[in-house]
Amino acid sequence: MGERDLIRAFERMLGVRGERVVYATGDDAAVVRAGGASVTSVDAIVEGVHFELATHSPGDVGHKALAVALSDLAAMGARPGEAYVVLGAPATFGEPAAVELVESMEALAERSGITIAGGDVTAAPVLILSVTVVGWAGGERDVAYRDGARPGHLVGVTGALGGSTAGLLVLEGLDAELAPAEREALIRRHRRPEPQLRIGAALAGAVVGAMIDVSDGIATDAGHVAERSGVCVEVRLADLPLAPGVEAVARAAGRDPLELAATGGDDYELLLTVSPARREVVESAARAAGTQVTWVGSVVAGAGARLVGIDGEVVELTGYEHP
Amino acid sequence: MGERDLIRAFERMLGVRGERVVYATGDDAAVVRAGGASVTSVDAIVEGVHFELATHSPGDVGHKALAVALSDLAAMGARPGEAYVVLGAPATFGEPAAVELVESMEALAERSGITIAGGDVTAAPVLILSVTVVGWAGGERDVAYRDGARPGHLVGVTGALGGSTAGLLVLEGLDAELAPAEREALIRRHRRPEPQLRIGAALAGAVVGAMIDVSDGIATDAGHVAERSGVCVEVRLADLPLAPGVEAVARAAGRDPLELAATGGDDYELLLTVSPARREVVESAARAAGTQVTWVGSVVAGAGARLVGIDGEVVELTGYEHP
């Protein structure tokens, strides 16, 4: 099956959602009714760099590529709009695998209310997916940025941390004392991360200061907020919400569970700062979106991220380098 | 130099053009003031599939990746807006080559009035560039589509054809009788194609029927218009405008120059159909944009592209398969 036939097979699989998309695939470009502000991000994942086909099915890869890109829209608080997908694959990857990959991507698109409105298919020496996502907001002031953290703000994080890295360690063969359901949940967390679109939009509406998705580990991502905002973001390690099973995995790996939670990437939760006066607005927005916010630190004058240990001492962590 | 440092180096090289872009690089996503209709296309080029570093410098590759994507905006008649670039490269590609690649892309962006507003950098086994471009139009009716060809329309093409394929044959070592300037022009045509943005926007304004860019060869692209419009697009081979030097290259290669012009891809001219009443409007729009339109056929009832030879017979060409 040639690339053109594969593209047509994909086109038949993809649905158009909402009234915004005028023309999706089939022309030189997609045409979308626009207004307010558009919010655009692009992310690529490469076999052998960001995932291995030994631990990820084609469906996992498709899901992950779209989820990672959508997580950036969540971090801006944008409403999901359209995705544009480049699929590069060697001939050995095969048509059934490509179809499984796109089906999984389309399932996440449907749940997220996004339309896969265009793309490109090409030969490549390894599997590579590049996903551009476009979200929409009423205007540029309705979006949450990294530069809005101010001294005095509380620092919160949605959901729980460390689950993705713990899941990867289990996938790589680590023998941890886990109940079967816990083990499955950790692996799923790594293979099928969920972009926090609903809470992201709710938090942008609750006028948070700064917001970012936790893709590189909260230690690194707090540093990004600190740098862009010109402040110091202090994070109390002992207050980090650990995903169930992270302690057992850390024990088996001989690592500190809090360090694992602080530096392990790919959780795709949201880190936010907000004026203490808005603490309850944020908490109830989180509840309404089916999740919760844990308060893990505060913004102070200074620079960089500062991780504070149980005894109040500043902790130096070995940085996790996101590929 | 790590990926993060490289991204920052790129950010310093990139300019923001116009009033539309609110936030470019540096946050989770770019934020752009939107309105009317957005027109979005994505294209990827891969080393060993679409180009070889033996015949293309890093600057050529950067230019080509952006030019190919912008050509889709030209075909829709959209005003250029923003580009989002994924650069995947092996460590051996090196930082100076990556900088040369981005400089060349930025030079084309500046000439085209487009802002490179975001991107991603990743390790990859070969050089790969994925470029998403966003253009803007007053509304969905101000865009030219592939499905607007109607029986009775004239078929026109901008500029000249066959130059890119002739340039590739010369690059691959073909010994053709060419003046040095002609040889250089053909090679440049292949390495540095120019997206026809100005004439594309003018033609959409002149209310053409259908429009498409000639990326796969006019024989194939006329077929795309025919299929989407539900008509037959007849192209007279003898009327195709040949780029200077194409005849000499075709002679040296033992090929028919008209066949080379009809099936050779990567010219990135525009193919259009228009009611005969608008013929002069199109011609003067082309002149104003610094190019010309050659009338090469007509739209009739039926299906598919029909290539007509010098004696009026229908010609069957071996299809050129675009990677």
pLDDT digit string, tens, across residues B143-156: 999 999 999 999 99
Residues 15-44 of A with CB under 8 A from B: 22-23, 26-44
* Residue B5 contacts A, CB cutoff 8 Å: no
pLDDT of amino acid B303: 93
CB contact under 8 A, A40 and B29: yes
A29/B39 touch (CB, cutoff 8 Å), yes or no: yes
Is residue A4 scored above 90 in pLDDT? no
CB A171 within 8 A of CB A47: no
Task: Indicate the angle between helix axes A197-205 and A279-288, nearest 10 degrees.
Answer: 150
Distance from CA of A221 to the nearest CA of B (A): 11
pLDDT for residue A318: 53
The pLDDT-based confidence of B15 (bands split at 50, 70, 90) is: confident
Q: Of residues B316 and B296, which shows the higher confidence score?
A: B296
Report the candidate in A151, A297, A298, A303 with the shortest Cα–Cα distance to residue A232. Answer: A303
Average pLDDT over residues B155-164: 97
Report, as an integer, the average pLDDT of A241-259.
96
Residues of A in contact with B75 (CB under 8 A): 28-29
Residue A319 has pLDDT above 60, yes or no: no
What separation in angstroms does the CA of A70 have from each of A197, A210, A274, A290, B37? Answer: 7, 18, 23, 18, 22
Q: 245-304 in B: which are within 8 Å (CB) of A?
A: none
How many residues in total does chain A contain? 323
* pLDDT number for residue B317: 67
**Number of C-beta neighbours around residue A163 at 10 A:** 29
- Distance, CA of A46 to CA of A250 (rounded, Å): 27
pLDDT (average), residues A238-251? 96
How large is the average pLDDT for residues B268-294? 95
Task: Give, as one character, the DSSP assignment of residue A319.
Answer: P
Inform me whether the C-beta atom of residue B117 falls under 8 Å from chain A C-beta atoms. yes
Inspect the interface and report whether the beta carbons of B27 and A118 lie closer than 8 Å: no
pLDDT confidence of B318, banded at 50, 70, 90? low
A60-118: pLDDT as tens digits: 999 999 999 999 999 999 999 999 999 999 999 999 999 999 999 999 999 999 999 99
Q: Residue B321: what pLDDT?
A: 42
For residue A125, how many other CB atoms are within 10 A of its CB?
18
CA angle B104, A47, A85 (to 5 degrees): 60
Per residue in B111-129, pLDDT tens?
Answer: 999 999 999 999 999 999 9
What radius of gyration do chain B's Cα atoms show?
A: 20
Three-class SS of chain B: CCHHHHHHHHHHHCCCCCCCEEECCCCCCEEEECCCEEEEEEEEEEECCCECCCCCCHHHHHHHHHHHHHHHHHHHCCEEEEEEEEEEECHHHCHHHHHHHHHHHHHHHHHHCCEEEEEEEEECCCCEEEEEEEEEECCHHHCCEHHHCCCCCEEEEECCECHHHHHHHHHCCCCCCCCHHHHHHHHHHHHCCCCCHHHHHHHHHCCCCEEEEECCCHHHHHHHHHHHHCCEEEEEHHHCCECCCHHHHHHHHCCCHHHHHHHCCCCCEEEEEECHHHHHHHHHHHHHCCCCEEEEEEEECCCEEEEECCCCCEECCCCCCCC
- pLDDT of amino acid B17: 87
Q: What is the mean pLDDT of residues A215-228?
A: 94
- Nearest-Cα distance to chain A for B33, in Å, is 5
Residue B1 pLDDT grade (very low, low, confident, very high; cuts 50, 70, 90): low
Q: What is the DSSP letter of A173?
A: T
Query: Phi then psi for B132, rounded to 5 degrees?
Result: -100, 130
pLDDT > 80? residue B319: no
Percent of chain B with pLDDT over 70: 97
Q: Does A126 touch chain B (CB under 8 A)?
A: yes
Is a pLDDT exceeding 50 seen at residue A193?
yes
Provide the whole-model pTM: 0.93
What's the DSSP call for residue A294?
E
Q: Which residues of B touch A46 (CB under 8 A)?
A: 88, 122-125
Element (H, E) at A11: helix A3-13
Query: Structure tokens of B108?
Result: 């084309």
pLDDT greater than 60 at residue A243: yes
Query: Nearest Cα to B33, choosing from B21, B17, B50?
Result: B21
**Which member of B29, B72, B139 has the closest CB to residue A39?**
B29
> Which has the closest alpha carbon to A318: B1, A155, A310, A307?
A307
Alpha-carbon distance B164 to nearest alpha carbon in chain A (angstroms): 20
Closest CB to B28: pick one of A22, A130, A213.
Answer: A213
CB proximity A46 to B under 8 Å? yes
**What φ, ψ does residue A36 adopt, rounded to 5°?**
65, -125
Q: Among B214, B228, B238, which residue's Cα sits nearest to residue B297?
A: B238
Shortest alpha-carbon distance between residue A268 and chain B (Å): 12
Q: From residue A218, give the alpha-carbon distance in Å to each of A12, A144, B2, B296.
A: 40, 18, 20, 61
CB contact B136 to A (< 8 Å): yes
- The CA distance from B91 to the nearest CA of chain A, in Å, is 12
User: For B140-177, b where at least 16 C-beta lie within 10 A, e where not — what string?
Assistant: bebbbbbebbeeebbbbbbbbbbbbbbbbbbbeeeebe
The bridge status of strand A232-236 relative to strand A304-308 is parallel
Residues of B with CB below 8 A from A89's CB? Answer: none
Task: Check residue B34 and give its pLDDT.
Answer: 94
The predicted-structure confidence for B182-236, as pLDDT tens digits, reads as follows: 999 999 999 999 999 999 999 987 789 999 999 999 999 999 999 999 999 999 9
Name the band, by pLDDT with cuts 50, 70 and 90, for residue A323. very low
Which of helix, strand or coil describes residue A42?
strand
| Range of lowest pLDDT (A119-123, B19-23, B89-93) | B19-23
> Which pLDDT belongs to residue A317?
67
Distance from CA of B112 to the nearest CA of A (A): 18
Rounded to whole angstroms, the Cα distance separating A68 from A87 reads 15
Average pLDDT on B288-306 reads: 95
Please check the confidence at residue B299 and state whether its pLDDT lies above 70. yes
CA nearest B296: which of B277, B270, B322? B270
Q: Measured between CB atoms, does A1 come within 8 Å of chain B?
A: no
> With the C-alpha atoms ordered B185, B186, B189, B190, is the resulting torsion angle positive or negative?
negative
Mean pLDDT of chain B, nearest integer: 92
Question: What's the pLDDT at A244?
Answer: 96
Per the CB < 8 A criterion, the answer to whether B119 and B86 are in contact is yes
Quick: pLDDT tens for A132-172.
Answer: 999 999 999 899 999 999 999 999 999 999 999 999 999 99
pLDDT given at position A19: 84
Chain A contact for B143, CB < 8 A?
yes
Tokens of residue B316, six digits: 């069957």
B-chain residues near A136 (CB < 8 A): 34
State whether B29 and A126 contact (CB < 8 Å): no
Residue B7 confidence class, pLDDT cut points 50, 70, 90: confident
- Model pLDDT, residue B52: 93
Interface contact A120-B29, CB threshold 8 A: no
The candidate with the shortest Cα–Cα distance to A101, out of A9, A26, A30, is: A9
pLDDT band at residue B323 under the 50/70/90 scheme:
very low
Q: Is the pLDDT of residue A1 over 60?
A: no
Instruction: Say if A203 is an interface residue toward chain B (CB within 8 Å).
Output: no
What's phi and psi for B234, nearest 5 deg? -95, 130
Please give the Cα distance from A53 to A41 (Å, whole number). 25
Condensed to tens digits (0 to 9), the pLDDT of residues B250-268 reads 999 999 999 999 998 899 9
Could B119 and A42 be called an inter-chain contact, meaning their C-beta atoms sit closer than 8 Å?
Answer: yes
**Percentage of residues in chain B having pLDDT higher than 90:** 83
Q: With left for phi above 0 and alpha for psi between -120 and 50, is residue A9 left, alpha or beta?
A: alpha
Chain centroid, CA B52 distance in Å: 19
H/E element, A7: helix A3-13
Find the closest chain B residue to A148 by CA distance: B27
Q: Using one digit for the tens of pLDDT, what is the confidence trace for B68-126?
A: 999 999 999 999 999 999 999 999 999 999 999 999 999 999 999 999 999 999 999 99
* pLDDT greater than 70 at residue A128: yes
Name the CA dihedral angle for A125, B58, B189, B149, rounded to a multiple of 10 degrees. Answer: 50
Whether the predicted pLDDT of A205 surpasses 90: no
Whether B320 shows a pLDDT value over 50: the answer reads no
Answer yes or no: are the C-beta atoms of A82 and A117 closer than 8 Å.
yes
Judged by a CB distance cut-off of 8 A, whether residue B138 touches chain A is no
Q: What is the mean pLDDT of chain A?
A: 92
